[in-house]
């Protein structure tokens, strides 16, 4: 293949993936969608969760267990709207007859921002993940075959409502639906035997599970003079976001695990901290209240020389591509597409209005 064809191919590939720049941290217009803790949020950005800690007791395996989890996650932008994701964790369980601990299952995936409307504060993302077979520990019931996890997440703020409904403007909803489909037979798990006071290593069947959730959030930014009703003059950060999350796990042929999780989040420029109380909504959801807390890092602001997609540093070379006869249905996207080849960028802290 000629070098010229290779060069043109690379430019065309860049043109395909280089759509409108995504706003970091799950921001759409004046709306900041808080990073939820019980399900994924619609943001596609350079982020790290270190950690997401939770404490809860619940019935299982004919007994009850108190579980402490330390989960972590990492997302790295491949393009402004596509990220690679990785997550796992550590689990410690306390049973009536003893303790077990080990790693949670590891998941590797992709997440794509499929729709954005800054004016109407709307975001939609799609994800596809691979649960790596036998990456979790048998001791904590995390051993499982390969799984495929296809999901959709969304966020919608109500800041675009008319003045007659201005009291609803601070509210937003986010949600997620993920279908986890096992590929292959089940795994193994340690099951407590109360009669003998020991653990038995038994087979654990693989079951298709639907993970779904919804959150209601309240942005305090709308109570300040930072909200003007028009395009924002800066990112809607440095604010409190009270919220409540509803989480459901529905294994096929088994009872749904349901919890309500009221709490709050505070978002700064480079991080978000959040905490929630776990309230079981049914017997499968838990034996009593629990607790969770999370630290979310915005890597593009924390380490701008390594992460993020921003304006190129001075001296960068810009290449422009334009279709000669764009399709009518795509005419709004037919403006020149900018592909920048530049030295490491210098992140500008001056914020500009969103479109």
Taking only the tens place, the pLDDT of each residue in 161-207 is: 999 999 999 999 999 999 999 998 888 999 888 888 899 998 888 89
Q: Are 159 and 31 in contact (CB under 8 A)?
A: yes
Report whether pLDDT(4) > 60.
Answer: no
Report whether pLDDT(2) > 70.
Answer: no
pLDDT, position 24: 55
Q: How confident is the model at residue 232 (pLDDT cuts 50, 70, 90)?
A: confident
Secondary structure string (H, E, C) spanning 137-180: CHHHCCCCCEEEEEEEEEEEECCCCCHHHHHHCCEEEEEEEEEE
- Average pLDDT on 19-38 reads 79
Coil vs helix vs strand at 16: helix
**Prediction pTM value:** 0.80
Q: How far is CA 63 from the centre of its chain?
A: 32
Structure tokens at 229: 């009703």
For residue 1, how many C-alpha atoms fall within 13 Å in the half-sphere facing its CB? 7
Q: Are 315 and 340 in contact (CB under 8 A)?
A: no
- Average pLDDT on 106-124 reads 97
Report whether pLDDT(251) > 90.
Answer: yes
Does CATH number 3.40.50.300 belong to domain 22-309? no
- Average pLDDT on 71-80 reads 96
What is the DSSP secondary structure assignment for residue 223, as one 8-state letter? G
pLDDT, position 233: 75
Q: Return the closest-CA partner of residue 258 out of 280, 231, 232, 228.
A: 280
pLDDT, position 339: 44
Coil vs helix vs strand at 181: strand
Phi and psi based region of residue 216 (left: phi greater than 0; alpha: psi -120 to 50; beta: remaining)? beta
Q: Return the closest-CA partner of residue 84 out of 318, 348, 299.
A: 299
- Average pLDDT on 11-17 reads 42
> φ, ψ for residue 194 (rounded to 5)?
-65, -25
Q: What is the pLDDT of residues 319-348, one digit of tens each?
A: 333 333 333 333 333 344 444 444 444 444
Q: What is the pLDDT of residues 267-325, one digit of tens each?
A: 999 999 999 999 999 999 999 999 999 999 999 999 999 997 654 444 333 333 333 33
| Interatomic CA distance for residues 332 and 188, integer angstroms | 54
Q: What is the mean pLDDT of the chain?
A: 84
- Average pLDDT on 15-25 reads 47
pLDDT, position 63: 85
Q: Which residue has the higher pLDDT, 67 or 22?
A: 67
Number of H helices, E strands in the chain: 2, 19
pLDDT, position 332: 36
pLDDT, position 353: 47
pLDDT, position 310: 56
| Interatomic CA distance for residues 46 and 92, integer angstroms | 29
What is the DSSP secondary structure assignment for residue 42, as one 8-state letter? S
Q: Where are the domains of the chain?
A: 22-309
């Amino acid at each position: 293949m000629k070098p010229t064809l290779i060069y043109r191919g690379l430019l065309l590939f860049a043109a395909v993936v280089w759509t409108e720049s995504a706003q970091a941290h799950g921001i759409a217009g004046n709306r900041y969608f808080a990073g939820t803790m019980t399900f994924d949020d619609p943001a596609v950005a350079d982020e790290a969760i270190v950690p997401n800690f939770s404490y809860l007791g619940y019935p299982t395996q004919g007994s009850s267990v108190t579980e402490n989890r330390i989960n972590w996650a990492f997302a790295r932008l491949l393009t402004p709207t596509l990220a690679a994701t990785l997550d796992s964790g550590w689990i410690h369980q306390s049973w009536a007859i003893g303790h077990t601990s080990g790693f949670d299952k590891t998941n590797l995936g992709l997440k794509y921002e499929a729709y954005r409307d800054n004016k109407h504060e709307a975001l939609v993302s799609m994800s596809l993940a691979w649960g790596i077979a036998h990456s979790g520990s048998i001791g904590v019931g995390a051993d499982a075959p390969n799984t495929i996890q296809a999901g959709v997440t969304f966020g919608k703020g109500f800041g675009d409502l008319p003045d007659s409904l201005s009291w609803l403007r601070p509210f937003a909803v986010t949600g997620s639906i993920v279908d986890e489909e096992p590929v292959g037979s089940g795994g193994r798990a340690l099951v407590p035997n109360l009669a003998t006071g020991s653990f038995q290593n038994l087979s654990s069947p693989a079951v298709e599970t639907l993970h779904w959730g919804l959150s209601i959030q309240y942005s305090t930014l709308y109570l300040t003079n930072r909200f003007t009703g028009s395009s924002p003059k800066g990112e809607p950060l440095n604010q409190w976001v009270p919220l409540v999350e509803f989480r459901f796990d529905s294994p096929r042929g088994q009872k749904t695990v349901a919890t309500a999780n009221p709490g709050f989040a505070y978002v700064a420029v480079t991080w978000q901290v959040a905490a929630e109380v776990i309230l079981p909504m049914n017997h499968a959801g838990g034996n009593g209240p629990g607790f969770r807390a999370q630290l979310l890092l915005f890597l593009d602001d924390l380490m701008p020389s390594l992460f993020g997609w921003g304006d190129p540093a001075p001296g960068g070379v810009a290449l422009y591509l334009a279709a000669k006869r764009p399709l009518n249905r795509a005419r709004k996207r037919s403006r020149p597409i900018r592909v920048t080849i530049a030295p490491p960028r210098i992140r500008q802290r001056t914020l500009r209005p969103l479109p």
